[in-house]
Amino acid sequence: MDLGLTGLRWLRSQSLNGLLAAAYFGAAGAAMQVGPGPAQRWCLAATSAIGLLAWGAALRRARAIANIATSRIASAAQGYVELQGRTTTTDLIYSPLSRTPCIWYRYRTYARDNREKEWREIDSGISSATFDLLDGSGSCTIDPDHAEVIGAEVTTRYADEHKHVEELLHGGRTLYALGEFITIGGANSALSLREDVNALLASWKQNPVDLQRRFDLNRDGEIDLQEWELARRLATRTVEKEHRNIRAQAGVHMLRAPQDGRLFLLSPLSPQALRRRYLWWSALHLGVCLGGAFMAMKVLLIE
């Protein structure tokens, strides 16, 4: 897999708000520490650039949610879709910190650094177990790897100079999902008639006694071209019947991270609430962008 796509998926699976906050505070803090001058101007310009990128990302997410209609699982097309349903309460997993039953968790543990007077992350983890989503028309298995999870229940606890932050998605709740929909098996099974016929004939050849009993019509002890053609036709009909049976079975629906790097989103919030949240974030990031640019210009004029 492309390293750029892998990095993008990793970033999306993290807490983006936390990453952006750290980037903002880092750039702004550096600007305050270095004092007036070219270095401060570059730090403020970096803050503005981060805000510009974050504004664009939030706006793209809001548009993606607004532009895609919610599909029913039973009739969803293969590809990029939006689903909304209720998660099952079976096969729950347990969060490692609070032992709470859930369908998904992410946690971080911080230790208090009294010398620096700040919290330092010492441990973290995220679940990868699949779970099912139902919408009344069917069931879809969600693979949460690389998902951007928004609106999960967050709990923070303090104990023995440690801070534990836990995010959970619970079973039996409404869930919004945006990602790549695929159906494994059933009508979408990738089957090759030629390869399967050749494989069946090869298996028959491994038992020459039975092969002659079935296809040596003139009983001369050999399978001639006409008799072998009969065997091939029978193998073809047998494989075609097996393929029809396979395609008649119900396939397994799955939602996963898009292979082309598009947004993979899971949230207990409604699509309307998600869109409003992303629009609010985009306005906030645009304000940071313009504020950083204004301060950089101000420093430039003072120099």
Per-residue pLDDT tens digits for 101-115: 999 999 999 998 777
What is the pLDDT averaged over residues 50-77? 88
Q: Any idea where the domains of the chain sit in the sequence?
A: 3-185+251-302, 193-248
CB 185 within 8 A of CB 251: yes
139-142 vs 118-126, strand pairing mode: unpaired
Which of 133, 130, 134, 112 minimizes the C-alpha distance to 121?
112
Query: Of the given ranges (24-38, 41-55, 117-131, 171-185), which has the lowest mean pLDDT?
Result: 24-38
Helices of type H across 35-179: 38-67
For residue 104, the model assigns a pLDDT of 97
For residue 32, the model assigns a pLDDT of 62
What is the pLDDT averaged over residues 16-38? 60
- Residue bearing tokens 């991270």: 257
The rounded Cα 302 to chain-centroid distance in angstroms is: 48
Of 281 and 133, the structure prediction assigns the larger pLDDT to 133
What is the pLDDT averaged over residues 270-295? 86
For residue 174, the model assigns a pLDDT of 96
User: Would you tell me how many other CB atoms lie within 10 Å of the CB of residue 239?
Assistant: 21
What is the pLDDT averaged over residues 43-70? 84
The rounded Cα 21 to chain-centroid distance in angstroms is: 23
- Residue bearing tokens 């069931």: 139
144-190: per-residue pLDDT in tens?
999 999 999 999 999 888 999 999 999 999 999 999 999 887 666 67
The rounded Cα 154 to chain-centroid distance in angstroms is: 20
pLDDT above 70 covers a percentage of the chain that reads: 82
Per-residue pLDDT band for 56 (boundaries 50, 70, 90) equals confident
Region class of 33: left (phi > 0), else alpha (psi between -120 and 50), else beta: alpha
Which of 161, 151, 180 minimizes the C-alpha distance to 262?
180
Which of 140, 144, 148 minimizes the C-alpha distance to 85?
140
Computed over every residue of the chain, the mean pLDDT equals: 84
- SS3 of 108, please? strand
Number of H helices, E strands in the chain: 7, 13
For residue 110, the model assigns a pLDDT of 92
Q: Which residues pair with 181 in a beta bridge?
A: 79, 255
Per-residue pLDDT band for 79 (boundaries 50, 70, 90) equals very high
What's the angle, vertex CA 42, arms to CA 37 and CA 44, rounded to 5? 95
**Cα–Cα distance, 221 to 213 (Å, whole number):** 9
Tell me 115's DSSP state: T
**Cα–Cα distance, 51 to 195 (Å, whole number):** 55
Q: Which residues pair with 119 in a beta bridge?
A: 112
What is the pLDDT averaged over residues 192-213? 90
For residue 60, the model assigns a pLDDT of 87
pLDDT at 118 over 90: no
Which of 266, 190, 258, 202 minimizes the C-alpha distance to 228?
202
